Amino acid sequence: MSRAIYPGSFDPVTFGHLDIIKRSSAMFDEVVVGVLNNNAKNPLFSTKERKEMLEESVKEFGNVEVISFDGLLIDFMKQNDISVIVRGLRAITDFDYELQIAQSNRKVSKETIDTVFLTTSIDYAYLSSSIVREYASYGTDVSDFVPEFVVKRLENRFQQ
């Protein structure tokens, strides 16, 4: 059975992420969306909130599970018998960093892990969680970028 993990911060999940999840769910038997537990980095939403928004977003896919994880991605993968990482590539600016991570993960995992890159749909090429946070913080409508329940959470967060 093919299992892949799509790791990220998802602070918050956007339509760009959901496009990658949808496409990878058609490619692999099971997809685990891995929410990095990086509260130390001071994200806008807690790990629990980010996970809840993802769970709501992936309900329609029968083979996608959302988990949160700490520590090294490849350790988590070994423990859970996952050998493929999915990452999205938006622009050339993503490439340097992603190449370095993919190559080092391959080396450190003794060549047991591979990374698969999906190129973003043109519709979402410009989209990032940080852009969504920035617009939402000024009260701008972000419903073209994220699902409605994420819009609501952003509104609540910035009203506080």
Residues with catalytic function: 17, 41, 90, 129
Q: From residue 19 to residue 58, what is the string marking binding to ligand ADP with x (rule CB under 6 A)?
A: -x--------------------------------------
| Residues numbered 105-124 forming contacts with ligand ADP, rule: CB under 6 A | 120, 124
Closest residue to ligand ADP using C-beta atoms: 16
- Per residue, the 3-state secondary structure of the chain, as one string, reads CCEEEEEECCCCCCHHHHHHHHHHHHHCCEEEEEEECCHHHCCCCCHHHHHHHHHHHCCCCCCEEEEEECCCHHHHHHHCCCCEEEEEECCHHHHHHHHHHHHHHHHHCCCCCEEEEEECCHHHCCCCHHHHHHHHHCCCCCCCCCCHHHHHHHHHHHHC
Interface with ligand ADP (CB under 6 A), residue from 5, 44, 54, 127:
127
Q: Is 94 in the site for ligand ADP (CB under 6 A)?
A: yes
Interface with ligand ADP (CB under 6 A), residue from 18, 82, 87, 151:
87
Q: Which one, 109 or 120, has the nearer CB to ligand ADP? A: 120
Chain residues that interact with ligand ADP, rule: CB under 6 A: 8-10, 14, 16-17, 20, 87-88, 90, 94, 120, 124, 127-129
